[in-house]
Structure 1
Amino acid sequence: MVNLTEILEPIAAWFRSLGVPEPIVHWGHPAMMGIVIFVMGSFVGFSGWRGRLAEDKEVASKSRSDHRKLAPWMFLFMALGYTGGVLSLVMQHQPIFQSPHFWTGSILLLLLGINGAISLSKFGGNNPGLRALHAYLGSSALCLMLVHALLGLHLGISL
């Protein structure tokens, strides 16, 4: 079995050689991802639900449009942040797979990826069941983001 830490160690060593201050290595990922989770995640979830529930057609249309524009960016930033978080663990000589924060992040990206695929399929031809699944899967991902953030805070304090 390939050891992920061994694969990433040369990259981590290069970043360590840059002399990045320890507080940035330690708390940079949580600070940036906190913005993505709490600002972007809240807006994406709110606009998605408002697009589903608003009775005013214009408000619903604008909300769906906002959701459609920002959700892919949130996924991209989450994927980049995931990569940065794993690299941060390697830079700090911490085990990757022993962290519940790693596992919630992995599950979170999987859920968001499935949700994106549902959306890209045009909800299977505008299937109401897939639209509902998309809404509830996205909401579940937002809840998992909160758990993930708490686990990350615990991890950051424990290192």
Structure 2
Amino acid sequence: MGEQLSQVLEPIAAWFRTLGVPEPIVHWGHPVMMGIVIFVLGSFVAYMGWRSRLTKDGEVAAKSRASHRQLAPLMYLFIALGYTGGVLSLVMQHKPIFESPHFWTGSSAVILLGINALMTFGFGGDKKESFRTAHAYLGSTIMILLVVHVVLGVKLGLSI
């Protein structure tokens, strides 16, 4: 199945190869950009989410919640786009897609982030606090998964 996906993406990868992007950028561009998204934006989004839950100051909680609400969708968008770019990078380098644990942790993170986003729709009902708590803990788990993902990505990058 991974080979079939590579064949589907090959025309796109071939077009990108014609742009003459230097090999170090093809090889390390995804990790550098995603590292920024995960460690800078992701850390801030997680911090703002937890800060809004833990602070006793209502004004600070409201500002933190607003920051979290504004930036979390952007983080998800950047991670989803970066996921696509990472898969395309593997195809451009003629490397297998499904054989790496890095691929599977990335896929899991994107799916779990989507589920976590959907949980926010439960924030208005009777179980508002239950959804918020589940959202917070799942989000924290995803951040841990993303750190593991980074470690696996560095290992992958050094192996190819």
TM range (shorter): over 0.9
Q: 1:139 offset after TM fit, Å?
A: 0.2
User: Mind listing any 5+ residue stretches in structure 2 that lack a counterpart?
Assistant: none
Residue 97 of structure 1: how far off its partner (Å): 0.3
Q: Tell me the C-alpha RMSD between the 2 structures.
A: 1.2
CA-to-aligned-CA distance 1:6-28 (integer Å, 9 cap, x gap): 00000001111111100000000
Contact 1:51 1:60 in 2 (8 A): yes
- 2:33 aligned partner: 32
Q: Which runs of 4+ in 1 moved over 6 A?
A: none
Distance in 1 (alpha carbons) for counterparts of 2:28 and 2:124: 41
- Residue of structure 2 in register with 1:67 after alignment: 68
**1:108 maps to what in 2?**
109
Equivalent residue runs for 1:2-17 within 5 Å: 3-17=4-18
Letter in 1 for 2:43: S
Counterpart position of 1:123: 123
CA deviations on 1:64-87 (whole Å, 9 max, x unpaired) are: 000000000000000000000000
What is the aligned-residue identity percentage? 66
Residue 75 of structure 2 is aligned to residue 86 of structure 1: no
Secondary structure of residue in 2 paired with 1:3: helix
Is 2:149 the partner of 1:148?
A: yes
TM-superposed CA distance for 1:41, in Å, is 0.4
Moved more, 74-83 or 122-131: 122-131
CA separation in 2, counterparts of 1:63 and 1:9?
A: 43
TM-score with structure 1 setting the length = 0.96
Residues 122 and 131, structure 2, Cα contact 8 Å, conserved in 1: no
TM-score, length-normalised on structure 2? 0.96
Q: In 2, are the aligned partners of 1:123 and 1:130 still within 8 Å (CA)?
A: yes
Q: Distance in 1 between matches of 2:7 and 2:35?
A: 28
Q: Cα offset for 1:128?
A: 1.4
- The amino acid of 2:37's aligned partner reads V
* Count of residue pairs brought into register by the alignment: 158
